[in-house]
Amino acid sequence: MRVLVVGGAGYIGSHMVRALLRPGHEAVVLDNLSKGHREAVPADSLVLGDFGDGELLDRVMQQHGIEAVMHFGALSLVGESMTRPDKYFQNNVAKGLALLDGMVRNKVRYLVFSSTAAVYGEPEQAPITEDARLRPTNPYGESKLAFEKILKWYDAAFGLKSISLRYFNAAGADPAGDIGEDHSPETHLIPLVIQAALGRRGNIRVFGTDYPTPDGTCIRDYIHINDLAEAHLLALKALAGGAESTAYNLGNGSGYSVLEVIRTVEQVSGRKVEAVLGGRRAGDPAVLVAGSERIKQELGWQPKFPELEEIVGTAWKWHFGHPDGFK
């Protein structure tokens, strides 16, 4: 299929583009490079621009005969969203509407949407299944949930079919080692611990040691970026085969604590990391673990990198080879 990958030059998007090109889809990347990297995607696939620009959308969709959209063009920092909800609703909802309207105008019927575990908020259960209560605790999660709801009504009114994938903690890099995570500023645990192992930062601060978990630190479900991309391919295939609009969780179903992640980076890298035990970061739930049975059963998704060691190993390869990221 001819797929428009919005935000395709970013961390998750660039791995998606690579996955699309493998089984013979065509990928056109639309990215304003506010977060993404030109070097992360094939040069001839990149259209530089904004997904809120309706005229540009019309041009790109028509020129390339776009049949489906994958949408990675979000702001995604929970902390920032607390102080700048305006930016989050503007980018993730208002601009997202412009994208949907562009799809409707150009009769592009299929969308795979990057959603998040943050739509659940403070969980009442582990693992979290798709029927859990949706009660975001920050504007980031709220903006993603708002968009999921909009999608439901765009399906009812305009026949736009969508699958929302609620990611848990995306991590790792393509095993080839030439693309990977490069955020500025970096806020995510695995790249920060790796930077400490590489001596590019003095230590890693552990946000909270008094959580109700076995070692007192937060537990997360880390999922390899290529396994995420694979799920998008399956979602696309399902939509093209007539599937109804829905949402799926995407995680491995096993949780690792912050201290376990640090130990894993030490094992994989063979280097010591200094952990500084600190206070909690506002808004962090103690445990976030995905129940991903539905996507396994309904779409046949199977993670190929379920072990934290493998995930960290691929991240280590990328950061070791590119200590300054794409620069």
Rounded-to-integer distance, Cα 209 and Cα 80, Å: 23
Per the structure block, which two tokens stand in for 239? 């939509």
Amino acid at 105: R
Site mask for ligand UFG (CB under 6 A), range 125-144, x = bound: ---------------x----
Instruction: Give 207 or 326: the residue with its C-beta nearer to ligand UFG.
Output: 207
Place of tokens 């070692």: 215
Contacts to ligand UFG from residues 28-87, by CB under 6 A? 76, 78
Instruction: Give 60 or 78: the residue with its C-beta nearer to ligand UFG.
Output: 78
Q: If binding is defined by CB under 6 A, does position 5 make contact with ligand UFG? A: no
Active-site residue, from 11, 88, 110, 140: 140
The answer to whether the CB of 26 falls within 8 A of the CB of 70 is no
DSSP for 223-248, please give it: EEHHHHHHHHHHHHHHHHTTPPPEEE
Across-strand partners of 47?
30
Q: By CB under 6 A, which span of 17-25, 88-96, 112-120, 238-246 interacts with ligand UFG?
A: 112-120
The answer to whether the CB of 221 falls within 8 A of the CB of 262 is no
Per the structure block, which two tokens stand in for 282? 């506002």
Contacts to ligand UFG from residues 181-200, by CB under 6 A? 187-189, 192
User: For residue 291, which of 122, 185, 166 has the smallest C-alpha distance?
Assistant: 166
Rounded-to-integer distance, Cα 236 and Cα 53, Å: 24
Q: Out of 15, 71, 161, 220, name the contact with ligand UFG by CB under 6 A.
A: 220
Rounded-to-integer distance, Cα 119 and Cα 146, Å: 9
Q: Out of 117, 145, 250, 308, name the contact with ligand UFG by CB under 6 A.
A: 117
Q: What is the closest distance, in whole angstroms, from the C-beta atom of residue 77 to ligand UFG in the complex?
A: 8
Q: What is the closest distance, in whole angstroms, from the C-beta atom of residue 57 to ligand UFG in the complex?
A: 25
CB closest to ligand UFG, residue no: 218
Q: If binding is defined by CB under 6 A, does position 258 make contact with ligand UFG? A: yes
Catalytic, 248? Answer no
Rounded-to-integer distance, Cα 29 and Cα 90, Å: 21
Rounded-to-integer distance, Cα 57 and Cα 31, Å: 12
Q: By CB under 6 A, which span of 3-11, 60-68, 202-210, 265-273 interacts with ligand UFG?
A: 202-210
Residues designated catalytic: 140
Please report, as ranges, the residues that interact with ligand UFG according to CB under 6 A: 76, 78, 116-118, 140, 169, 187-189, 192, 204-207, 218, 220, 258, 281, 284, 288
